[in-house]
Structure 1
């Protein structure tokens, strides 16, 4: 579903969705299509040992103040700063079983491969799913209804001029990105 007020070629884009919905993947793709930088907000937030970086909000303010960017819509303290400057909010509202399966696969892959994430961090042991209330899979499960219930009302209340594009499946995503890429390539030819 495309908001009628969405800019044809946005310059500052937020990508929202549950953990595992594909926010970062889509954000990277959009950055390439729009020829703007992508900043992974988790890299700004997580310091060594998963401790939040004290300069996180200063970094978010600097990001929000720049002319063009794509980033993920995460962290309650960062959302208002980013939304105030965003041209578009893209909501990945994928079917929950798909998002859960993607998150579990990603979490297991990262743990087994000991993939280094932000600032030297790696996924914790898999059994932490049962003991850590902040484990990403538990967090996703607990918050799985939040976006459907709160995202659009929040955006309309706090930033009524911020267009929201809701993509409900992979076909929606592919169609929308292809349309955006077509517009961007046409705009590039006209320069």
Structure 2
């Protein structure tokens, strides 16, 4: 496990697990959302492909995302390990809601200095709406990728409950 891709639906805990793995294994951790959103107004990084190519060219890394479409194949091609947090909606949705309420109330600065707002909750791109609507499609896409012979050499760890993930992490 030197090049790890932590995947799952929005709110599954990808970033939290990636940071924990980074601390446990001494691998540099990269937050895909921080790479993607790099400025005010949720500005998108025009150099995302080059940035991801550069960081994944290294021998050791962790990335916490399925990956945005423009870098998804690159991430999957370069990873040697996939950790899939395949949690059901009943686990993910309370996490997303708690996180978004906290971020909105505290005005927590996020990627590129952006913040979640109360009016943002009305947008279909808000994390709560996104987590609900993309849960099935995202899970199916990850399942297809995990089953794709092109990625067969990947060491895949699939967890369907947070307790299983915690036990695996503790055993590392």
The normalised TM-score by structure 1 is 0.83
**Structure 1 position 171 matched with structure 2 position 128:** no
Q: Tell me the C-alpha RMSD between the 2 structures.
A: 1.3
1:89-128 matches, within 5 Å, as: 89-123=82-116, 125-128=117-120
Counterpart residue number, 1:51: 43
Q: Name stretches of at least 5 consecutive residues in structure 2 with no aligned partner.
A: none
The separation in 2 between residues aligned to 1:147 and 1:135, in whole angstroms, is 16
Aligned to 1:81, which of 45, 60, 74?
A: 74
Give the length in aligned residue pairs. Answer: 169
The separation in 2 between residues aligned to 1:150 and 1:39, in whole angstroms, is 22
The separation in 2 between residues aligned to 1:95 and 1:140, in whole angstroms, is 11
In terms of fraction of residues, the more strand-rich structure is: 2
In terms of fraction of residues, the more helix-rich structure is: 2
**Structure 1 position 28 matched with structure 2 position 19:** yes
The separation in 2 between residues aligned to 1:32 and 1:76, in whole angstroms, is 28
CA contact (8 A) 2:11 2:92 kept: yes
Q: Name stretches of at least 5 consecutive residues in structure 1 with no aligned partner.
A: 1-9, 181-191
